[in-house]
Structure 1
Amino acid sequence: MGTIGFVGLGNMGRHMATRIAQAGHDLVVFDIKDLQRKPLEAAGAKWVDSVGAVADVADTVIVSLPTPAIVDQVLAGDQGLISGSAVRVIIDTSTTGPSVSKRLADTLLARDIRLVDAPVSGGVTGAEQGTLTVMASGQADAYAQAEPLLKIIGKNIFYLGPEPGQGQMMKTINNTLCAAATLASFEGLVLGSKAGLDPKTMLDIINVSSGRNFATEVKIPQCILHRDFPMRFTTELLHKDVKLCIEEGARLGVPMWVSDMARQMLSFAIGQGMGADDYARVIQLYENWGATQFGNAR
């Protein structure tokens, strides 16, 4: 495939980049922090000193970045990928929302660069194991070029068609459903704890019943039941995704009342200093209000 580029080596990006390097691809990488330089060089990647340096040598570049503003800067800024001499396809695994993705696709296409928006779901564990769900859209020939790389980082690959932003639309819907179900689960489980129900037994029952969801099956057993609270996805990033979805709902005239309640709760948690924490810690607000605790340390 020639040289592949990767920009953004945070909690998700570092694992995806590592898998691509270990698959034998000629990989160049960059991040504003050099925390992952040694591990990625050990995996076979070459570290370069700027976004532009990636775009000057890599025909296909993958990005994994935290916010729409940063994606905009990295892709289309004065020193961004758009200025590179080699790049022809950009695969954006970030969550920017469909409106931003459509605008960037048009901007890049004017410079003969095609955008595949390919946001992912599955968290840090999925990124490390290569089992992410990928929701991709973009021109068919660009997607065909991206697909072999997407199969390295993901297990469930969905192509949603040539219209830019459709992958982003699906991702924001997914994360908004996750947020609403998670917060509802927090409420119910804290209530059960206050009433004297055993935490694990509650999860065992819910997970073979109609109340099960990602939070009860994965997030809460792995991150909360034993009071571990590992860093996997921040409260502020989940809030960002829900906000993007609600904005699309307003643009298309679709009411999202329950989703907006979830957004408000996440916004409150950010105001309480939890923005940089994994969103699992939001359960502690409910525990404080209920004067109880769900789960116990190992």
Structure 2
Amino acid sequence: MRIGFVGIGVMGKPMATNILKSGYELMCYNRTKEKISDLKDKGALVADSVEELIEWSDTIIFMLTTPEIIESTLIKNIKNLNIYKDKTIINMGTISPSFSIKLSQELSKYDARYIDAPVSGSKNPAEDGKLIILTSGDQELVKLHNSVFESMGDKITYCGEIPKASMIKLSVNLLILHMMEGFSEMINFAKKGDIDLNSLFEIVLSSQVSNDLYKMKYKNYISEEFPVQGSVKNGIKDLTLIMKTANETGAYIPLTALNHQMYLKAKDLGYEEEDFSAIIKVLEK
């Protein structure tokens, strides 16, 4: 199976690297060619255009950030959409359920098959091949690609028809973003009461509220350094998609609306490219 990979960013690069390590033929495309140089050194082919990659590949994976970029890259900028015939297209980024349906319907016009397979996890799990991968679409088609998914993740969960995987992914991200904001509020509250953070974390991380996210992030608050695993920018993107989907489905999520405003304020204060744990800087202002 020839795999094409579009979008070699913070997550896409380690994911593509692990596909290559698993022995698949791989061709990559990224608008910024420098990001692909080390993949090329490891044996990946580099496409000069998305069309070249589609024509070469059996399966095309894309890890792109917004619906607008996805649509322009995969649909609007492709001169001959018939090159999608009999190809399998896999989305592994975070998109809205409604956009996943739209993309599936659009690609089906050109006899392409579509799998919705967003990932849960950040840079480190991506590098370690330990992402959680949520899949939806034709179950037999998904099974044919499970070995590809297993090269990138250690838990592959079939969620049902499109767009169930994207809906579950947004649901999980809603909780994660609330957890980070709540953790930051707790820390800010304790600091205002002159509490030593090491003592605070000793209690919290040995209590019933301890979890892997807090264990991974608490050192950021001690060092006041926020190396990016998941950025404020991506948090804003996800919260915007969540709010849009809630509006479409009629879900009432008042805390999420407030959290969305917090992340937008972080952007206004210049923290957009920092890790989303940097949300505490908004609280400390």
TM-score, scaled relative to structure 1: 0.90
Which residue does the alignment assign to 1:292?
Answer: none
1:256 corresponds to 2:276: no
1:269 corresponds to 2:263: no
Which residue does the alignment assign to 2:42?
Answer: 43
Asked if the contact 1:127–1:154 (Cα under 8 Å) also holds between the matched residues in 2, the reply is yes
Amino acid at match of 1:254: A
Deviation at 1:136, TM superposition (A): 1.0
Asked if the contact 1:68–1:96 (Cα under 8 Å) also holds between the matched residues in 2, the reply is yes
- Please give the residue correspondences for 1:77-226 in structure 2 after superposition, counting only pairs within 5 Å: 77-79=76-78, 82-84=81-83, 88-161=87-160, 163-221=161-219, 223-226=220-223
Task: Go from structure 1 to structure 2 and tell me whether the alpha carbon gap of 1:81 and 1:239 turns closer, same or farther (over 3 Å shift).
Answer: farther
Asked if the contact 1:137–1:167 (Cα under 8 Å) also holds between the matched residues in 2, the reply is yes
Asked if the contact 1:76–1:104 (Cα under 8 Å) also holds between the matched residues in 2, the reply is no
Distance 1:282 1:123 in 2: 17
Percentage identity across paired residues of the two chains: 28
Task: Go from structure 1 to structure 2 and tell me whether the alpha carbon gap of 1:143 and 1:205 turns closer, same or farther (over 3 Å shift).
Answer: same
Which residue does the alignment assign to 1:14?
Answer: 13
Distance 1:224 1:81 in 2: 51
Asked if the contact 1:51–1:81 (Cα under 8 Å) also holds between the matched residues in 2, the reply is no
Task: Go from structure 1 to structure 2 and tell me whether the alpha carbon gap of 1:179 and 1:18 turns closer, same or farther (over 3 Å shift).
Answer: same
Asked if the contact 2:84–2:111 (Cα under 8 Å) also holds between the matched residues in 1, the reply is no
Higher deviation after alignment, 2-11 or 29-38: 29-38
Distance 2:202 2:88 in 1: 45
Q: Which one of the candidate residues 274, 279, 297 is aligned to 2:276?
A: 279
Distance 1:94 1:80 in 2: 24
Query: Which SS does the other structure have where 1:229 is aligned?
Result: coil
Asked if the contact 2:3–2:58 (Cα under 8 Å) also holds between the matched residues in 1, the reply is yes
Deviation at 1:120, TM superposition (A): 0.8
Structure 2: any 5+ residue segments left out of the alignment?
none
Distance 2:86 2:283 in 1: 48
Q: What is the aligned length? A: 285
Superposed CA deviations along residues 131-180 of structure 1, whole A, max 9, x for unmatched, are 0011111112321222111111011111101x211111111111111111
